[in-house]
A and B are shown apart, each in its own frame.
Chain A
């Protein structure tokens, strides 16, 4: 009996070791502080900017990033939440993928009390020794924010959602000067929120402290978000090098990245959100190897092998004891 237990203990130790090896091999990391690095490896396969569920993403190393409520300035809200971040590049474009759990898909803003789910990534405009405040940057260390909104995604996927889509009988018989933008002042002034024909679900923004978030005239970030089975996956894509005072990326360089998520069902908007600290983002020359499918199968094989070995060892131990 004693010998059998000894063999079982040995088996379990081996199993734990092999799982650890498996996790290391698959490069799954848990982020708990800003020392953790999100690595954007080079993808040799094409990364489609409109499909966050494309299989290419199984080649990117996931990092678990903890988010917490924004409690620095009113209005304060949000909560503890975890997102999974992945990143890739293809020499020309940088891709960042966010994934998080959300029970409800909140993608309409046509009623007075509806708010959209949203997600954002934030980079320092100038990477360097001074890391901006993770909440909206500093006046002398501004940040470039890319914000994706579920409502904008709906506009792109299904066409601009108008009042009549929510309340078919809300409209009246005649709207004078309907074609004149001046009676839609936000639209006339070029406010991206008021656009009826949207090209991207992602807003390119700059900020230099709370209350300074400013929409840029360059809507240069593409991407897409999709809600499946209680999960959002949102993909951000932008040219690594662009004109203008925005964050620039280059292979071999490092910068910082922070994440934020909004839950429309909880009336979250503006500063009412969950935010992360800054992580390091490394744009690596290494190639994102193999498909994730293979990686997963390696882990499965390793774990199954370990279980089998444990069983064999346990049986062997028992036989030896009987013998």
Chain B
């Protein structure tokens, strides 16, 4: 076991391989507050990558209703339970000392790698979901949290922020293209690799022998076994788009299908620069700004230890203990900053789904104070890889009034 640094845990941890990092890392921010679970992302992924025989049950992108929903069923509850059994009562954070290398403090519990190292038989803690668990991918859709301990009972009184008593939210999930992937640690064949150019994690379809150790030991359950080819497949991060080799891209890095089709504009995806094993300071990269400067976007279950690279702006209305378990101790600060956004944050939030082209840099042009509000009509400008402007959006959306003579036209 090697020792690697996991900034999300604020400490070194055990991992099967020595620390190694790509030049850039595929990353995304999903704003849970905006999602309406229309599943357009899910279907765009399905119709691009998993429409063939043997992939019927595969949803590389899925949106599940929390707290009850899950694809495969109860994947996260099961993982949390395995961790708890391996280290009873120990999954705690010390957030008394924060810093650049430990923005959420220090995780004192065990990761999936450390919990497995105690026994020595496996590289990571995990389980293999059954066929039944992969069915009904949207089970418990829109099912709200009921009254605790009272079956079939909801809180019927009016509810208000900061925490709703009756609540649910949508969790959008793709492969996290982790810095320390569970699947790579698990694969006895070294058939899974992380690309040095963009950190995208892929299963070599020629080397894979369908052992399903990756399915077992990816805590997010995103590698899936395909019975028609007898090997495992996973989200490929639409790499032809991200690398700009898809003819549609015109040679410029382009967002994935699930991101670019999001009608709720909840997703922003790109590439962050990595230097000396850490995200290079790149204040005007929107992903860097949201996760490292404003810290409104948080990793999903950082305690698993894989350093996932999809970041979530947590839902404002959900009870904090649940969110802290899911996104770590950064939840309270993230919700506060999102609820009362800085001028810059408000402007950057406009860039979500503004263009298919990946935004490598943004600039802000300051605007007038909006009458009757505390908001400013600033303009966010996005630039592509070649630093050409690809998008320009103001905080206040332009208002168009249809002329009288076109009132009923379509």
Contact = CB atoms under 8 A, between A and B. Distances in A.
A and B part of one assembly:
yes
Interface of A: 73-77, 109-113, 151, 162-163, 166-167, 170-172, 175-178, 183-191, 193-194, 210-215, 267, 269-271
A160 B376 CA distance: 65
6 contacts: A76-B120, A162-B53, A176-B52, A184-B54, A190-B206, A270-B209
B128 A113 contact: yes
Nearest to B213: A75
B212 A186 contact: no
A184 B54 CA distance: 9
B52 A74 contact: no
A101 B82 CA distance: 34
| Chain B interface main SS type | loop
Given A111-B131, A112-B131, A211-B190, A187 B229 contact: yes
Given A76-B120, A162-B53, A176-B51, A191 B208 contact: yes
Interface string B33-67: 00000000000000000011110110000000000
A172 B46 CA distance: 13
Centre residue among B190, B207, B228 by max chain A CB count within 10 A:
B228
A114 to B, nearest CB: 9
B130 interface: yes
Contacts of A162: 53-54, 227-228
Interface in B205-261: 205-213, 215, 225-231, 233
A110 B227 contact: yes
B47 to A, nearest CB: 9
B339 to A, nearest CB: 42
Nearest to B116: A74
B131 A186 contact: no
Nearest to A269: B211
B173 interface: no
Contacts of B264: none
A190 B190 CA distance: 18
Contact of A166 (B122, B186, B227): B227
B209 A193 contact: yes
Given A75-B188, A112-B129, A185 B212 contact: no
A75 B57 CA distance: 27
B78 interface: no
A151 B228 CA distance: 13
Contact of B228 (A167, A184, A189, A211): A184
Centre residue among A73, A163, A170, A185 by max chain B CB count within 10 A:
A185
A186 B227 contact: no
A163 B210 contact: no
3 interchain residue pairs of minimum CB distance: A194-B229, A186-B229, A193-B230
A163 B130 CA distance: 15
A171 B56 contact: yes
A172 to B, nearest CB: 6
B283 interface: no
Given A177-B52, A211-B189, 10 more contacts: A75-B121, A113-B130, A176-B51, A183-B52, A185-B205, A189-B206, A193-B210, A214-B207, A269-B211, A271-B188
A191 B130 contact: no
A53 B208 CA distance: 33
A106 to B, nearest CB: 14
Given A172-B56, A186-B208, A109 B230 contact: yes
B229 A185 contact: yes
Contacts of A170: 56-57
B206 A191 contact: yes
